Chains A and B, each alone.
Chain A
Amino acid sequence: MKKYILTLLAVTFACLAAHAQEYTISGTVTDNEFEPLAGVAVFIEGTLDGTSTDEKGRYSITVEQGQVLEFSFIGMVTQKVTIIKNTRIDVQMEPDAIFLDEAVAIGYGVAKKSDLTGAVSSVKAEDLQNAKIGTVTSALQGLAAGVHVSTGSVKPGGDATVIIRGAGTLTASSAPLYIVDGIPVEGGLQDLSSSDIQSIEILKDASSASIYGSRASNGVVLVTTKKGTADKMRISLNASYGTQRMLNKQDLMNAQQYYDLVSYAQPDDYTWSSEELRLLSRGESTDWQDAITQNGSYQNYNFSISGGSEKIQHYFGLDWYDQIGTIKNSSFKKLTARYNMDAKMNDWFRYGVRFNVIESTLKNINEESDPLYGTMFSAISAQPTAPIFTEDGEYFDGFLNTKANPVAIVDLLDRTTLKSRVVGSFYLEIEPVKNLKIRSDNGGELVFYKTNEYEDERMGQHYTEGGHAKITSSKKRYWQTENTVSYDLNVEDTHKLTVMAGFSASMTEYEDVVADSKKLSSILKYWNLQGAEEHGPNSSYGVKSSLVSFYGRATYNFKDRYLATITMRGDGSSKFAPGHRWGFFPSAALAWRISEESFVKDNVNWISNLKLRASAGRLGNQEIGDFRYAALITLGDPTANYVFGNALASGAQQTNISNPDLTWEKANQYDVAIDFGFLDNRIAGTIEAYYKRTSDLLWEVPLPLESGFGTSLTNIGKIDNRGIEFSINTVNISKRNFSWTTGLNFSVNQNEIMELYNGKTDVNKDLFVGKPISDWYLLKNLGIWQINEAAEAAKYGAVPGDRKVYDRNGDYVINGDDRVFCGQSSPKWYGSFTTTFNLYGFDLSAFFTFAGGHYINNDLRRYLDSYNVWGNMSENYYKYYWREDRPNNRYPAPRVGSAYANGDGTDANLEKGDYLRLRNLELGYTFSKKMLKIMNMRVYVAVQNVFTATEFTGFDVESNSNSNPYPNARSFIGGISINF
């Protein structure tokens, strides 16, 4: 108030003392999205003269030539403009590298970012736009330290895998818990439309995640969708279109090379079919990779409208996503509609709904889960001497790889997965006493999956004559009720206390049915199974699980300097044995905002934010199958069924022994961090270290094999994950028409098995105490036996040209005892780098991701880089295989029966997984509202996967299948977004 009076006085005085050069300058202040900013302080530097912007962001002030105008607003970088005869100065403000007053979702509530005590990474909605093709899960890549997202499957409709702070589990799932508007979502965020998302928070440490105790040991991803706006109606339209070019096509032999090699290696064994000879005689060759691939395309249209009044606010969003894959006949289409409403009936009663409907259609003919059966692998291994069509115009059949004609597959295979999903919730909130809120949030989801499959008999001899149709249909039903009470206490802004307590219950019911029929109408396909001549095997399945939880949280804030949070959650899960169902997951955290202390605030003005925080707590994991604690008897499994009198007899067998002690997997996690902001938060970031010990690991402990039960799910052992996360965002330049920002995050994780069970130091030479979970333990490849080593080679039964394998114990027998440790398969470090320039309405951004320190078993090399009697090989193999007249150490000689030639069991096919990828490069131009009157509009072009620097030679360094990959693509995208 005082300041205001002073300002008024100053302005008055300034007017009185007006000079001749004085004149009035005016303009509009907008944010970086060209939305007007109200309340921006506009001062003349070095004076107390100033004003502030009105609701439409307008200001006017009297100035003199040469003075400097200073624009400042909370959460924005202060801007200075020197007056040179201007009469109008429009300013666009750039947000701070960190916006401390931002409200952040923390689960069952929100907190100001400055008040956080735990490790919460916030992802801004606009950052998700770095990834246009693919899912929201994959868009998270590189956006938060400590969160490792690998592309996983790039097929249309495929999703990424997320691991937060290292895998700390052996059997149970290592995926984080995804919560969208309070409702847990299984399997990632693939159904969401990124335009509907307001923010994503990733809860990484025990303190922040333990409010979701039972399921939080892998971290929590909290998604909040957009709300309606109270002030005015906003309409936004986005459209983008792109084309995709397949990357990393493998260089394989052509027909002539293949013919030469086979004739050299197996002069008498191979009988060339007349079709192959026909192709060879014409000098032709079939490029199977080309034959099954195409340029993909992608389009995404999005429309949203939001608005309302003080009383009620609405948001409606509609999104259409359509991708045609680079493998023919694969595509993904998705329609998403969302309606969110929040209403305030009176001072003490609010209510609202969240409603989301998703329909998608996936056509996929390349099942990566079938590594040796998929379309891509069939194409890679099909011999180039085989024609696509025979002389009679039929699909060529009879491939050495025993697979179907890849082109027949992409032409004829009809496999469509339809998914319909409805998610909704409504809440009621009353405030009977000021600051006491009682809230009940209730919701659920219904998901229907249906896969229709038809295999045409023309696909080849392995396919059922008369056709084969299969329908898989499943349904998931989930409901939950969450009820919380919270109270805010504020004693003279010195003591601020918030307490929250709640109760929730949820139930999941899943069921599926498979109908399988053969010999049916090729016209009616899967729509008329009753017309089939053969039925079965059919199957059905159903399972339920439930969870009951009590939870509470207290946060205390003393003078904005000292912050404390205590969280407690108790969960009861149906997955565990009676008597062991309840788990308790407490945590505590402390934070000290050093920058609020007077000795910093008053003395060190370049420090704008400095916070020290520490947390400790316990989290749980229950992601295992249901009823694993009970003795189970399976009926009708094919390995138990038998045949009597030439008819099927179904068998029953015990498949699980009871484990009455089965209980939660627990992770104790400790976390220390420094959050910093320097120079008006132009430089802001976090350095964080964590240590997570998972104990009572849920693991399939081998039982004595003689029991007839392979394993029993048991709580055993310990795994440690420790790591450091570093992230920094900077606003390097923030000028009126030019700004430059950068962001970097980098994470290091170390994983180590600390204890197994019964004092064992290893289990089956697969898991080792003192090593990471994902360590490779293999024979060591030493290259190729050379001519002058023939005598030594003979001791191993090898001849020159065979693969030379390290005989560790020197016993002249190569076996499992000679294995050595060969590095780990999960990255040791990963992160991202992003930089954005804004210049006179143009924006240019580049987004890089990187990871490394790991080795990938590229099993494609197993087939391509050694003599393969049933499929094509790499061109390099043809050029460089070992021959007496061209000895080398690269590839073994093409000799049938050459031991270890394909590298199986050795490290020969391990490749360094390090990579740096320019994931997105984007150039845009924004037409401001000023230019277009009623709207602003941004147009952009982007290139994704511009380049990847890596030594990895497979299709994609991030793919989880190497032998049957869905090829990654370079995408060229153009788009427009309009906001009214």
Chain B
Amino acid sequence: MKKYLTYIIAGTLAFTGCDAFLDLEPQSILTEDNAYNDADDWNQNLTSAYGSLQNVFIGKYTITLGEFGTDEVEPFDLSWAAYTELLTYTFNAQHAFFDNHYRECYGGIKRANVVIDMPKDAVDEADYNSMVMQARFLRAIFYFDLVKMYGGVPLWLKSSIDRDNIMIGRSSVDEVYKVIEEDMKAALGLPESWPNAEDKGRATSLAAKAFLARIYLQWGKPDLALQYCRELEGKFHLYEDYADIFDPNNKNQEYENIFEIQSMHSGAWGQEGSIQHSYWGPRNVGGPTNFGGWGGFGPTQYLYDSYDDNDKRKEAFFFTEFNGVPQTPPSTKKFFDEVYGNQIEDDQLNFTLIRYADVLLMRAEALNSIGDQTDEKYTCLNQVRRRAGLADITAADNLSQEEFADAVLEERLHELCCEHLRRFDLIRFGKLKEAVYAATDGEVEIKDYHVLYPIPESAMNANDAITENNPGY
């Protein structure tokens, strides 16, 4: 009977205390109320913005957008429609990879915005400045990838969300570039190099300069690009041995590689390991890179055949056979992890987003574009050619401005192939159509509007303020 009374009382108490009973706190997840207390908390938000670099640049879907549909890379699982469509330019706005790339970029922007919008008094001034500059560096990188792929996109520059004004329309290409420019310039206040080993991998002012050069060049402002290329003179060098560029033992040496996206072997896929070996590695040899097994991709025969036989890179960048298994077309050595490569999507390879050889070639390109008459552009180009064992190109060769541009573009192909640059190089040089036509023996004839991908249909559907897709889609 006593028990019974206890329950009656308990029941009555519960009745009055219902709302308290229903007010529970999450245990394994933070809320706005407890997530942002000190510098470490904000730093973890910044870390996640860095984390988006992996999602955007070392994702299967995102790699393919910069590589397929050019002359340098092709997929091997052609039965997969998503691959074939990119290769043959038969995609439309519903293609899943655009959706993925677009989401990942804006995911990174969201994470960066949280840090950029942090209250000034949340941490001490030095920390505040450093974190905001890093976040703006990252935001610039994500918007740059968006503007290259899709043209003018909506600008989300705030971390707060107003549900009533959630639909933001597209800005113009120039408006997006202006934001990118401002953000990247803000990052010039970062250190040239992080003194502590545990900070290696963070954005630096030198990386910001290299990216400013790339951004201005793509934006059609070679004079501004040139300035930043020059500022990097003497800060970086070219490795003698090509293997050193990609060797995971050389991570973050800041010798040739200016900014690397970090990975580490983690013991399980889906963690911090990279997927690059699994997708680019040799085929038909068992293991994760087996022919088509992972929807793998690799260089085209067209690319391989375009090298001079005495070009050292022909040997340094390609496997024509692996463990006795011929590789036709050859597979690339650029993303090869001897130690962990055979573990599915869990290799230790960093991805170098920008390196000095690229800066040298950009400098040559910029100089050529502004009609510079000095030897500077030859010096830059030849630094890259000499390492490859190729003869210098000099003023004596009497190349016209256009011919020199072609030489630079070819050099970029041979030096930077498979580093997610080709599509944008071809677009910048106005040669995408031509190159695709040549590489496919005329089988794929693209339209002019293909220099932009469509805004993903899911983005159009979810945002009423985006009313028109890119022309042609």
* A residues adjacent to B (C-beta < 8 A): 268-271, 397-402, 428, 430, 440, 442, 461-462, 464, 468, 481, 483, 503, 505, 507, 516, 518, 534, 536-537, 540-546, 548, 572-574, 578, 581, 626-627, 630-635, 638-655, 657-658, 702-710, 758, 760, 763-765, 797, 813-817, 866-867, 869-870, 896-902, 904-905
Contact = CB atoms under 8 A, between A and B. Distances in A.
B27 A708 contact: no
Contacts of B51: 639-642, 651, 653
A516 B267 contact: yes
B262 interface: yes
Contacts of B343: 462
A900 B78 CA distance: 9
Interface in B52-108: 53-55, 77-81, 84-85, 88, 90-92, 94-95, 99, 102-103, 106-108
A270 B26 contact: no
B262 A503 contact: no
Interface in B124-173: 153-154, 156, 161, 166-168
10 contacts: A397-B286, A440-B4, A483-B7, A640-B48, A645-B196, A650-B47, A709-B161, A758-B464, A815-B90, A902-B79
B201 A648 contact: no
B443 A797 contact: yes
B291 A869 contact: yes
Contacts of B267: 464, 468, 516, 518, 534, 536-537
A481 B11 contact: yes
A814 B92 CA distance: 10
Contact of B7 (A481, A543, A764, A899): A481
Contact of A707 (B18, B110, B271): B110
A519 B447 CA distance: 54
B456 interface: yes
B204 to A, nearest CB: 13
Given A546-B24, A904-B80, A705 B462 contact: yes
B18 A548 contact: yes
Interface string B281-295: 000111110111110
Contacts of A464: 267
Given A652-B44, A653-B111, A705 B458 contact: yes
B277 interface: no
Interface residues of B, number: 109
A537 to B, nearest CB: 6
B244 interface: no
Given A503-B11, A708-B156, A643 B284 contact: no
B277 to A, nearest CB: 13
Given A642-B201, A708-B107, 8 more contacts: A507-B21, A581-B22, A641-B47, A704-B459, A708-B111, A765-B94, A897-B79, A902-B79
Nearest to B43: A649
Contacts of B225: none
B179 to A, nearest CB: 13
Interface stretch (B28-36, B304-312, B402-410): B28-36
Contact of A705 (B32, B45, B103): B103
A327 to B, nearest CB: 23
Contacts of B26: 543, 626-627, 630, 632
Contacts of B79: 866-867, 896-902, 904
Contacts of A764: 457-458, 461
B370 interface: no
Contacts of A440: 4, 7-8, 11
Contacts of B286: 397-400, 402, 461
Nearest to B14: A505
Contact of A574 (B22, B153, B156, B167): B22
B44 A650 contact: yes
B271 A638 contact: yes
Contact of B459 (A648, A705, A758, A816): A705
B342 interface: yes
A897 B23 contact: no
A534 B45 CA distance: 27
Interface centre among A398, A645, A709 (most CB of B within 10 A): A645
B272 interface: yes
B154 A706 contact: yes
B111 A640 contact: yes
Contact of B161 (A541, A646, A648, A707): A707
B202 interface: yes
B271 A537 contact: yes
Contacts of B272: 638, 641-643, 648
B10 interface: yes
A574 B198 contact: no
B29 A634 contact: yes
B186 interface: no
B393 to A, nearest CB: 38
A399 B291 CA distance: 11
B4 A430 contact: yes
B187 interface: no
Given A269-B284, A631-B31, A652 B90 contact: no
Nearest to B272: A643
Given A537-B271, A544-B27, A899 B200 contact: no
B450 to A, nearest CB: 13
B270 interface: yes
Contacts of B436: none
Contacts of A797: 88, 90, 443
B461 A654 contact: no
A870 B270 contact: no
